């Protein structure tokens, strides 16, 4: 991906307040992402999967966290870049789609039909090349009311550009197993560490390892940037506890040796 592409993705992901202060074209002034952390998404909304079957969103919330991405399948630039970025990130994340989490990709263009979703799914899975991913990555289309309800619930604002395309931001949302919004990750590339920690945190520790739990103590989610930042004080606390334990073990060992010298048996 080019430097220009990255800069455009970051710019589109900015808040509406910042956008309004710039001399952007009118459509872009209504574009952005408003964080709705901990808000419940409407899981009864009806969409169509890549086969054309009607499905309610709740079908994909089966006790595991869900990655939600809003795209449109004929997007000439950002949507494809964001999906490719998610594929690249997932390759570096030691968690398995379907077993540990689900991915739901929803088109926000009501004119797109299941055939386009099926093409996008086939193309994405062929690039991902991980067995079992087809069981946990779902590509949906829907009608305008359902799309709007979902977009509004997660704070995703987009607008037609007048040329048959859409102006939109790029981000993925990580949802809890019961459909609440846990985290937002912005852009078209997502740090594997951040995605892994977001999934572990959204699952309330039901997936991941002890190392992940330790990392969550050392890294804190910063909603203003949509990423995890290093927490120095927490690391200092961990090092302090470790130092006390090591010194305590050393003192105990020296005390035991002294007793052996005084009272040999």
The answer to whether the beta carbons of residues 124 and 137 sit under 8 Å apart is yes
The tens digit of pLDDT for each residue in 104-162 reads 999 999 999 999 999 999 999 999 988 889 999 999 999 999 999 999 999 999 998 87
Place of tokens 């009864």: 44
Task: Write the CB contacts of 5 (distance below 8 Å, at least 6 apart in sequence).
Answer: 77, 81, 188
Residue ranges making up the domain that contains 253: 233-265
Kindly state whether residues 130 and 9 are assigned to the same domain.
yes
Percentage of the chain lying above the pLDDT 90 cut: 56
Does one domain contain both 161 and 126? yes
> What's the pLDDT score for residue 30?
80
Same domain, 154 and 258: no
Q: What is the distance between the alpha carbons of residues 254 and 265, in angstroms, rounded to a whole number?
A: 18
Residues 89 and 186 in one domain: yes
237 and 150 in a common domain: no
5 exposure class (CB count in 10 Å sphere: 0-12, 13-18, 19+): middle
174 shares a domain with 245 = no
**E strands along the chain, which residues?**
32-33, 46-48, 54-56, 66-71, 102-107, 137-140, 156-157, 159-160, 166-167, 171-175, 181-186, 219-222, 227-230
Residues 173-189 have pLDDT tens digits of: 999 999 999 999 998 88
How does pLDDT run across 3-19, given as a tens digit for each residue? 445 545 545 544 444 44
- 163 and 50 within one domain: yes
Q: What is the pLDDT of residue 77?
A: 87
The rounded radius of gyration (Å) of the Cα atoms in the chain is 23
Q: pLDDT tens digits, residue range 196-233?
A: 999 998 998 676 555 555 545 566 677 777 777 765 33
Please report, for the domain that includes residue 109, its CATH number.
3.40.30.10
User: For the chain, what's the residue count?
Assistant: 265
The DSSP symbol for 141 reads B
DSSP state of 170: -
Pairing of strands 102-107, 137-140: parallel
Tokens encoding 231: 């927490």
Gap between the Cα atoms of 171 and 142, Å rounded: 20
Backbone angles phi, psi at 7, to 5 degrees: -65, -40
| Structure confidence at residue 164 (pLDDT) | 85
What confidence score (pLDDT) does residue 237 get?
42
- Residue among 201, 225, 224, 221 nearest 213 (CA): 201
Looking up tokens 């105990």 gives 252
Q: Are residues 192 and 154 in the same domain?
A: yes
Q: What is the pLDDT of residues 71-108, one digit of tens each?
A: 999 999 899 999 999 999 999 999 999 999 999 999 99
Q: Which residue has the tokens 């086969």?
A: 51
Residues 142 and 263 in one domain: no
- The total domain count for the chain is 2
> Do 26 and 81 share a domain, yes or no?
yes
Residues 41 and 59 both lie in one domain: yes
Residues 90, 152 share a domain: yes
């Amino acid at each position: 991906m080019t430097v220009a592409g990255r800069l455009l993705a970051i710019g589109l992901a900015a808040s509406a307040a910042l956008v309004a202060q710039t001399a952007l074209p009118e459509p872009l002034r209504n574009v952005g992402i408003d964080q709705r952390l901990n808000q419940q998404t409407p899981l009864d909304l009806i969409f169509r999967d890549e086969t054309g079957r009607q499905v309610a969103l709740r079908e994909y919330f089966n006790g595991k966290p869900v990655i939600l991405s809003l795209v449109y399948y004929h997007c000439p630039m950002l949507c494809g870049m964001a999906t490719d970025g998610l594929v690249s990130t997932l390759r570096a994340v030691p968690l398995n789609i379907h077993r540990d989490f689900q991915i739901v990709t929803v088109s926000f263009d009501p004119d797109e039909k299941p055939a386009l979703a099926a093409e996008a799914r086939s193309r994405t899975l062929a690039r991902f090349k991980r067995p079992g991913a087809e069981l946990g990555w779902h590509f949906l289309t829907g009608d305008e009311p359902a799309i709007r309800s979902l977009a509004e619930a997660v704070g995703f604002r987009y607008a037609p550009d007048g040329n048959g395309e859409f102006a939109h931001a790029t981000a993925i949302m990580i949802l809890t197993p019961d459909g609440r919004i846990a985290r937002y990750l912005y852009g078209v590339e997502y740090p594997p560490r951040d995605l892994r920690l977001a999934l572990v945190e959204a699952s309330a520790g039901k997936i991941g390892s002890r190392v992940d739990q330790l990392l969550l103590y050392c890294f804190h989610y910063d909603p203003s940037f949509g990423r995890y930042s290093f927490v120095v004080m927490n690391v200092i606390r961990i090092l302090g506890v470790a130092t006390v334990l090591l010194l305590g073990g050393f003192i105990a060992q020296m005390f035991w040796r002294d007793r052996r010298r005084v009272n040999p048996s």
